[in-house]
């Protein structure tokens, strides 16, 4: 495989030449399509916070909660201990997403749309959460989200949003209102016993401040829940990590989340409620489990 030195050099030259011509051709082409670069910039202003919130390293402590999965599995022990619980898990995931969409999604949307109402939303969500276990899980994550906002995001999004951000993503001029509402809420949380800091309305408010479009915020809320439940299933030895990723990637899950966002888009918080009554029992009886690896 020895190539003579001259040939070697000429081949190298040719490669350099070809690469230069490719670069030039691309440059010429992009001059005729001036839209590519600006739109990419516009998209990543909204993409960046979405990636922050979708990161499983976001310290909300979600890994500690199974949202009733652990209790559900304990209530549905297969007759043979070796039998697979995968199909039971799929049923649970479906029901769990349905419940979250009917009970919490309206509060996410309202928290985003109506920042100054956050305290009432927080109270009403609290009044609508019937069991101690679910309330604990919701407020733990809501308070954690406030912490992340306060310690990590605030410096970046508090003032910077006045500039390019708010105008480019469709939340026109509403970001500062939301920042003020969140600051007032944080103060109330420190001073009043009646403030709980539930995750759903705060998720709406924080995503608005970060400039995530409403639809994405709602989609991500449900997606994160699905991811948490699926990840709990891995740790409860229901399925392996690759199978878990394939459930998460499936078009079935995508269609479901999309459909739920669409269904709930105009649901008023007054009409939020439980669509799977037995879910309250599974979640409520979590504390009766003999052994537990999750907090919910």
| Cβ-based nearer residue to other proteins, 114 or 124 | 124
Grouping H, G, I as helix, E, B as strand and the rest as coil, residue 271 is helix
Please give the full DSSP string across 80-100, using - where no structure is assigned. STTS--HHHHHHHHHHHHHHH
94 touching other proteins, by CB under 8 A? yes
Structure tokens at 220: 């991500």
Helix (H) or strand (E) holding 170: none
192 near other proteins (CB under 8 A): no
- Which two three-digit tokens encode residue 55? 């990161």
CB 168 within 8 Å of CB 42:
yes
> In whole angstroms, how close is the CB of 236 to other proteins at the nearest point?
13
Q: How many CB atoms neighbour CB 51 within 10 A?
A: 9
- Residue 281: CB atoms within 10 A of its CB come to 15
Using CB under 8 A as the binding rule, whether residue 27 contacts other proteins is answered as: no
Rounded CA-CA distance 129/137 in Å is 11
Which CB sits closer to other proteins, 34 or 277?
Answer: 277
Applying CB under 8 A, among 45, 54, 95, 236 the residue interacting with other proteins is 95
| Phi, psi torsion values for 266, nearest 5 degrees | -110, 10
**Angle of helix 36-54 versus helix 214-235 axis, rounded to 10:** 40
48 part of the interface to other proteins, by CB under 8 A? no
**Minimum Å distance from CB 68 to other proteins?**
11
Q: How near is the Cβ of 139 to other proteins at its closest, in Å?
A: 12
| In the complex, minimum distance from the CB of residue 161 to other proteins, in angstroms, rounded to a whole number | 31
According to CB under 8 A, which residues from 248 to 287 bind other proteins?
255-256, 259-260, 263, 271-278, 280-281, 284-285
Our finding on whether 184 is near other proteins (CB under 8 A) is no
Pick one of 62, 129, 141, 207: the residue that binds other proteins (CB under 8 A).
129
How many residues lie near other proteins (CB under 8 A)? 42
Q: Among 80, 82, 268, 290, which residue interacts with other proteins (rule: CB under 8 A)?
A: 290
Minimum Å gap between C-beta 73 and other proteins is 9
Closest by CA to 39, choosing from 47, 50, 29, is: 47
Element holding 258 (H helix, E strand): helix 251-264
Shortest distance, position 256 Cβ to other proteins, whole Å = 5
Q: Least distance (Å) from other proteins to the CB of residue 290?
A: 4
- Say what the alpha-carbon torsion angle 191, 196, 201, 202 is, to the nearest 10 degrees: 60
Which residues here bind other proteins, judged by CB under 8 A? 71, 74-75, 77, 91, 94-95, 97-98, 101-102, 123-124, 126-132, 135, 255-256, 259-260, 263, 271-278, 280-281, 284-285, 288-291
């Amino acid at each position: 495989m020895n190539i003579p030195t001259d040939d070697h050099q000429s081949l190298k030259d040719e490669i350099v030449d070809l690469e230069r011509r490719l670069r030039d051709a691309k440059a010429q082409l992009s001059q005729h399509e001036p839209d590519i670069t600006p739109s990419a910039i516009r998209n990543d202003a909204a993409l960046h916070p979405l990636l922050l919130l979708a990161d499983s390293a976001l310290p909300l402590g979600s890994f500690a909660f199974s949202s009733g999965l652990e209790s559900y599995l304990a209530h549905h022990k297969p007759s043979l201990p070796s039998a697979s619980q995968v199909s039971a898990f799929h049923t649970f995931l479906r029901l769990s997403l349905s419940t979250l969409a009917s009970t919490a999604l309206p509060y996410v949307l309202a928290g985003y749309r109506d920042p100054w109402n956050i305290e009432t939303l927080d109270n009403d969500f609290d009044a609508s959460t019937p069991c101690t276990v679910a309330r604990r899980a919701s407020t733990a994550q809501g308070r954690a989200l406030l912490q992340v906002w306060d310690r990590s995001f605030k410096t970046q999004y508090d003032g910077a949003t006045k500039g390019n951000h708010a105008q480019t993503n469709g939340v026109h001029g509403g970001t500062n209102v939301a920042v003020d509402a969140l600051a007032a809420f944080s103060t109330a949380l420190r001073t009043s016993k009646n403030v709980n800091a539930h995750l759903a309305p705060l998720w709406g408010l924080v995503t608005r401040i970060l400039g995530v479009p409403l639809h994405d915020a709602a989609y991500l809320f449900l997606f994160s829940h699905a991811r948490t439940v699926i990840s709990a299933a891995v740790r409860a030895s229901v399925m392996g990590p690759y199978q878990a990723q394939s459930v998460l990637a499936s078009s079935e899950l995508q269609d479901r989340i999309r459909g739920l966002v669409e269904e709930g888009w105009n649901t008023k918080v007054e009409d939020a409620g439980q669509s799977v009554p037995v879910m309250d029992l599974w979640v409520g009886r979590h504390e009766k489990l003999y052994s537990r690896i999750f907090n919910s």
